[in-house]
Structure 1
Amino acid sequence: MLASTYPRWPGDHEPGFVHELAKRLVGQFHVIVLCPHAKGAAPAEMMDGVEVIRYRYAPAGLETLVNNGGIVTNLRNSRWKLLLVPGFVLLQAWHAWRLCRQRRIDVVHAHWLIPQGLIAALLGRSFVVTSHGADLYALRSKPLQALKRFVLGKAQAATVVSSAMRDAVGQLGANVDRVSVVPMGVDMAGRFMPNGAVQRSRSELLFVGRLVEKKGLRYLLDALPAVLQERPDVTLTIAGFGPDEAPLKAQARLAGLEDSVRFLGAVAQKDLPDLYQRAALFVAPFIKAESGDQEGLPVALMEAVACGCPALAGDVAGLQDIFGTQADACIVNPRDADALAHAILRQLRDPKQAVERSLSMRAAMRERLGWDHVAPRYAELLRSGRQEY
């Protein structure tokens, strides 16, 4: 597996969906993950049966292209990090080529079209490529669009994580007949589950995610004063980190929301279920960022619904894959502060109905997005693309 975002160590708060897939394939494959090194991370280790190799692409103090917001956001916020891109790509390509020669790799699974998919296409090995969202929706220059089409044309199989993303592949001009919708999964059997022993709050709103533009948290803070006018007992808990943390805290302070908003910072995966099981409403005010970047299939939203937490989300393509028939009641335009506040209050006024709606969504989601259904689909794709060398 070639990846950029990957846990730096066990229990890391960085997104771990690639590792969650990798460890579920261990029983059928010897899985090697090649991902970038970061300060404090081991150059090589075994994690849950997965062999993880982290390649160096800059001095340790400068290996900051990936973490704390993602590549697209980091490049937008710190233009000097463009200088890190050539080393990041070329050194991952060199290490991947060396691994293929030394370890007789049968199949490569590239996560993200660019750069991992491009690297896989140039290796001359059978490969499957998965797009997670930012790589498809952002990076919109004509040369990069052409590279995406090249990667999709070379792959033995390609997957996207939502049905809306498959439509976006068609708009790119690539052949959608070879593209399958296979999401990343959520652990609905062991970790993210309802807990009847926990009393669900009637007033706590919850946001979980990176503090970056496409998550839309600024719009939730805009809407919160209107919510507080009717429900002064409402609080907002924010679990996340990222480059927009300082301006978001300043926004909350200027709006006089210090007593109603709590920033927790980064929260470990193992501690998230407690938040989802307790909150009255999970609010994910997603938007399409200026760069074009937007959510593919948001993992935190899936986790919240898996825990039976009522949920409300911004109107971006693909969320119907989570909300299903409940989409109209759970999707709102977050840029309209009044509409967002009204939608929040509507859910809070009838907590019993909100929970029943969430449990209905969970039951429908279980058959499509649980890891025990998702991982076998990826295993089948990888076996079909496997070649002996």
Structure 2
Amino acid sequence: MPIAPNVVDAVGAATAGARLRAGLGVPEGAPLLVFFGFVHPVKGLRYLIEALPELRRVQPDLRLLVVGGFTSQALPQREARAFRAELVELTRRCGVADAVTFTGHLPADRVSAALHAADVAVLPFTAGVSTKSGALLAALAHGVPTAVTEPDGGDGELRGSGAVAVIGGRRDSAAIVRTVGRLLADPVLRRRLAERGRAFAAAYSWPRVAAAHRDLYARASGRADA
């Protein structure tokens, strides 16, 4: 079953994104990375944080915005608090505490603004990213050039689309540096990914999801001609 983006492109979100950058104190022209989704160890965020010192050697003003709550069914409140503290401490050890902002859970319109504010989205999941990720589809639908890790066996539809930049390794901060560094250095590549990402995500709409469920129920009930 297909899914759709879990956050739609809100009216006025681009303007709100510019205000968000200013509120964060991001200098004009400075790159802003975004991670979006529930924060959990399997999302690979620690490897992205570990990549920041090297990325900032080239882009000293680079910032990272972590958009998403920590508490979920997969990470109960006590464990969520401990994991957040672990990541905050990691930013300190890496010397990038001033460059990372954890927003916690945000309403959909503010997530949309954050996606518009970003120059590159990074989803370094430890098991790889596929089209079953609503966060991925949201980033693509907002036209954010997006770097992802691949699952075992890859995701042929996603890779073949040319809509994402593929990080060459999982649990690998050096691979993140190589891929994200290339995106930050190449505005033409970012524009191409933004265009292809929007086009790719457009096929993952709620009408498509509804039609797929309708067809499944029709086949299951023996009414395939319904």
TM range (shorter): 0.7 to 0.9
The reply to whether residue 274 of structure 1 matches residue 128 of structure 2 is: no
Residue 257 of structure 1, aligned match among 96, 105, 117: 96
Equivalence for 1:185: 4
Equivalence for 1:232: 60
The reply to whether residue 207 of structure 1 matches residue 35 of structure 2 is: yes
Amino acid in structure 1 at the alignment position of 2:41? E
The reply to whether residue 355 of structure 1 matches residue 174 of structure 2 is: no
The change in CA–CA distance for 1:193 and 1:340 in structure 2 (over 3 A counts) is farther
Indicate conservation of the 8 Å contact 2:129/2:150, yes or no. no
Shift of 1:192: 6.2
Shift of 1:232: 0.5
SS for the counterpart of 1:259 is: helix
Shift of 1:359: 1.3
Larger radius of gyration: 1
1:13-59 deviation per Cα after TM superposition (whole angstroms, max 9, x unaligned): xxxxxxxxxxxxxxxxxxxxxxxxxxxxxxxxxxxxxxxxxxxxxxx
SS for the counterpart of 2:5 is: coil
Shift of 1:216: 0.3
Aligned-residue identity in percent = 27
Equivalence for 2:213: 378
The change in CA–CA distance for 1:324 and 1:264 in structure 2 (over 3 A counts) is same
1:229-268 deviation per Cα after TM superposition (whole angstroms, max 9, x unaligned): 1111100001122222121111112222111111111112
Aligned Cα RMSD in Å?
A: 2.8
Stretches of 4+ moved more than 6 A in 1? Answer: 192-196
**Relative contact order (C-alpha < 8 Å, sep 6+): which is higher?**
2
Cα distance in 1, alignment partners of residues 168 and 215 from structure 2 = 37
Residue 201 of structure 2, aligned match among 351, 358, 365: 365
Indicate conservation of the 8 Å contact 1:287/1:334, yes or no. yes
Shift of 1:224: 0.8
The change in CA–CA distance for 1:378 and 1:210 in structure 2 (over 3 A counts) is same
Cα distance in 1, alignment partners of residues 174 and 42 from structure 2 = 20
Cα distance in 2, alignment partners of residues 228 and 250 from structure 1 = 18
Gaps of 5+ in 1: 1-181, 289-293
Amino acid in structure 1 at the alignment position of 2:143? G
Amino acid in structure 2 at the alignment position of 1:221? I
Count residues in correspondence: 199
Shift of 1:342: 1.8
Residue 340 of structure 1, aligned match among 148, 152, 176: 176
Indicate conservation of the 8 Å contact 2:122/2:147, yes or no. yes
Indicate conservation of the 8 Å contact 1:241/1:265, yes or no. yes
